[in-house]
Amino acid sequence: MQSFQGGDYRRAAKQLASLLAHDPDDTILLRLCGMALVRTDAAADALPYLARAAAAAPDDAICATWHGIGLHAAGRHADAARALHVAASLAPEDPAPLIHLSRALLRQDRPRDALAAAQRAVSLAPALLDAEYAERLSALAVLQASSATVAADLLAADLAGAWLALGRICMRLDKVMDARTAFREAHGLRPELSEAECELALMEHLCGQPRAAAARLRAVLARDPGCLLGRIALASRLLLDDEAAAALAVLDAVPTPPARGPLRSRWHAERAQALIALGQDGAAVRELAKAEQEPVRELELLLTWQRLVLARRAARPEAAALADRVTLLTTIREAGTLEHRIDAHFDLADLRRTQRNPAAAFGHWHRGHALLGAAQPFSRQQHELYLEAIVRSFDADRLAKGPHAATRDPTPVFIVGLPRTGTTLLEQILSAHHAVHGAGERLAVRETLARLTGTLAAGTAMTRAAALDAATLTAASADYLADLHALAPPAACVLDKMPDNVFHLGFLATLLPGARVICCTRDLRDVGASIFQHRFIGYHPYAHDLADLGWYIAKQQKLIEHWRASLPSPMLMLDHAEWIADFDATLRRVLAFLDLPYDAACERFYEQDRRIGSASRAQVRRPINAAGVGRWRDYAGQLAPMLRELPAAGRT
């Protein structure tokens, strides 16, 4: 039940199926297992459980409702409507069967019946649901109608505004994908609606597209400088990148916030967050007081966390009670946005870790990833097919005998490796060299691949890329290198540490034959533990389930082995432990690989004041240390699902 209630439906389904093996006729276990499978997009597998529960308890409205939901998810809309009619008759005071009935009726092209069901739900809702939800339920059927004309006839309303409201409702229920669909519909109907575009940007951020989110928000503000929601959202994004001063500047570009209302409180709350990050605690306390003048329920978690941070800095005794209060608020949806609850879990995990409470820390990491997983689903099957396409397209024969670009420019250097293996550290060390430019995580390879292959479909792109002729590759290589040299004309080496480049090394060997590759490695157990202990802002869907994480790491190791055996490009393997054991010898080996002279500035890499966009930004501003070595042992029991998936060499 804990896994189910916490939203970890994949784990819940496995646990419930195990329980059913001992008690196969328990209707509660049957419907819970079925619904858990529905929530993991396995409706076909769910239906036998849900049907057995409904048959075993014909007078149970919940069993009938959940059976109807499962039938709808499986595309059996007429059967779903029949089951939901039964559920509505069994529980005439419950709006839930009627809400789902309206959806099933719409999929049968019966919008008037669907609207009637939704309106009946509204008449029941005030006693059971909050006011905003009740007000918007009447739009539910209309929003899903197949005909916009019919919808407009049935409900004279602003459909874009209704989609926007529905998206916000979905977000309050942690239904990220449904919310993203709703916000896209709102934006499509009214592209000029700034609120819809801001909400869509927030979805992009949650789904692992932070650059797209930031670009969208900046475009909104360029068109609509007074959009306070856009300023708040962009400031929040900047704060996640440790750019507190920039966040404050974005907020303060509005002369005066609204006199009243939730946006005013949110504006003050974001200002408080920026001031805390800048160490201006006195000013932050004043902003907090202003944010709390007009209480907003969904800000309670954020504001309580801010008070906890300030109390801990001042060593005030209420810090412990505030930490307990924050922990409680993470379990209450209404107390914080999904983003706030995710951040709070990871922040609480760090707090409990420093307090030497590994069990509590791991619990928060687990719950934070469960929430993120809803926004970033992972498919082993799809990833496996992608890897097969890479290895098949760029095998040793293709790389040795197939077409290549004619250029041999050694300037490009690609740093690859799993997160937390030292890729950011290596970039920071080398960027201190007078002849090296660290370009961060560039999108240039991905963009070049998409342009040449005409597709963003990963497997198809690999197949098409392997078939490119020498003339095409040479022309594309010249364009790529021209852009690269423009970044830092005097540099002998330009570093690109985009993690996805590990999948493109075969393509890069044909596009940039003179490029060099450094692959960072580390004890795989520490890698997995460290990934699970971090909230990455980008797209890391494999990270949210421990078994998936171990599986993904093992698959990447196999891909690296393929590249080591097949890649014609020079490739240096660099273990993180080498820096700790002998920094000077390791540095000289890396510089020799890059044909660079020794530069003592590399020894003081941590003194560089350069922007770092990865989760390792704090660590690489300190001298080399062994603080993270062997940390997985503190959580060996909890990490068991991941450890079992690692290759044998990574489990010893």
Residue 149, pLDDT score? 41
Annotate 8-57 with DSSP letters as a single string. -HHHHHHHHHHHHHH-TT-HHHHHHHHHHHHHTT-HHHHHHHHHHHHHH-
Instruction: Indicate the pLDDT class of residue 242, thresholds 50, 70 and 90.
Output: confident
Residue 117 has pLDDT above 90, yes or no: no
Residue 92 has pLDDT above 70, yes or no: yes
Residue 131 has pLDDT above 60, yes or no: no
Mean pLDDT of the chain: 86
Residue 135, pLDDT score? 43
Residue 125, pLDDT score? 55
Longest CA span, the chain? 81
Instruction: Indicate the pLDDT class of residue 50, thresholds 50, 70 and 90.
Output: very high
Residue 574 has pLDDT above 60, yes or no: yes
- Kindly calculate the radius of gyration of the chain based on its CA atoms and give it in whole angstroms: 27
Kindly list the distances between the CA atom of residue 425 and the CA atoms of 180, 449, 574, 603, in Å, as whole numbers in the listed order.
35, 27, 12, 12
Residue 207 has pLDDT above 70, yes or no: yes
Does the global pTM surpass 0.85? no
pLDDT in tens, 575-634: 999 999 999 999 999 999 999 999 999 998 887 764 545 444 455 456 777 777 888 998
Residue 451's identity, in one-letter code, is R
Dihedral-angle region of residue 356 (phi above 0 means left; psi in -120 to 50 means alpha; beta otherwise): left
Instruction: Indicate the pLDDT class of residue 4, thresholds 50, 70 and 90.
Output: low
Three-state DSSP class for 518?
strand
Residue 154 has pLDDT above 80, yes or no: no
What is the rounded average pLDDT of the residues 48-76?
91
Residue 152, pLDDT score? 40
Residue 146 has pLDDT above 50, yes or no: no
Residue 127 has pLDDT above 60, yes or no: no
More confident residue, 9 or 481: 481
pLDDT in tens, 530-543: 999 999 888 899 99
What is the rounded average pLDDT of the residues 48-71?
91
Residue 628, pLDDT score? 74
Q: For residue 575, count CB atoms less than 10 angstroms from its CB and return exposed for 0-12, middle for 13-18, buried for 19 or more.
A: middle
Annotate 127-174 with DSSP letters as a single string. GTS-HHHHHHHHHHHHHT-S-HHHHHHH--S-HHHHHHHHHHHHHHTT
Tokens standing for 538? 């980008």
Three-state DSSP class for 76?
coil
Residue 141, pLDDT score? 43
Residue 148 has pLDDT above 50, yes or no: no
- Counting residues of the chain whose pLDDT is more than 70, the rounded percentage is 89
Residue 291 has pLDDT above 50, yes or no: yes
Residue 133 has pLDDT above 50, yes or no: no
Residue 345 has pLDDT above 70, yes or no: yes
Residue 159, pLDDT score? 64
Residue 15, pLDDT score? 81
Instruction: Indicate the pLDDT class of residue 147, thresholds 50, 70 and 90.
Output: very low
Annotate 164-212 with DSSP letters as a single string. HHHHHHHHHTT-HHHHHHHHHHHHHH-TT-HHHHHHHHHHHHHTT-HHH
Residue 107, pLDDT score? 72
Instruction: Indicate the pLDDT class of residue 158, thresholds 50, 70 and 90.
Output: low
- Counting residues of the chain whose pLDDT is more than 90, the rounded percentage is 61
Residue 449 has pLDDT above 80, yes or no: yes
pLDDT in tens, 250-260: 999 976 777 67
pLDDT in tens, 352-399: 999 999 999 999 999 999 999 988 989 999 999 999 999 999 999 999
Instruction: Indicate the pLDDT class of residue 21, thresholds 50, 70 and 90.
Output: confident
Residue 595, pLDDT score? 96
pLDDT in tens, 467-521: 999 999 999 999 999 999 999 999 999 999 998 899 999 999 999 999 999 999 9
Residue 151, pLDDT score? 42
Residue 114, pLDDT score? 74
CA 617-199-277 angle, 5° bins: 30
Instruction: Indicate the pLDDT class of residue 303, thresholds 50, 70 and 90.
Output: very high
What is the rounded average pLDDT of the residues 257-273?
87
End-to-end CA distance of the chain: 34
Residue 516, pLDDT score? 96
In this structure, how many other beta carbons lie within 10 angstroms of the beta carbon of residue 107?
A: 17
Between CA 36 and CA 31 the distance in angstroms is 8
Sign of CA pseudo-dihedral 450, 508, 612, 532: positive
Residue 28, pLDDT score? 85
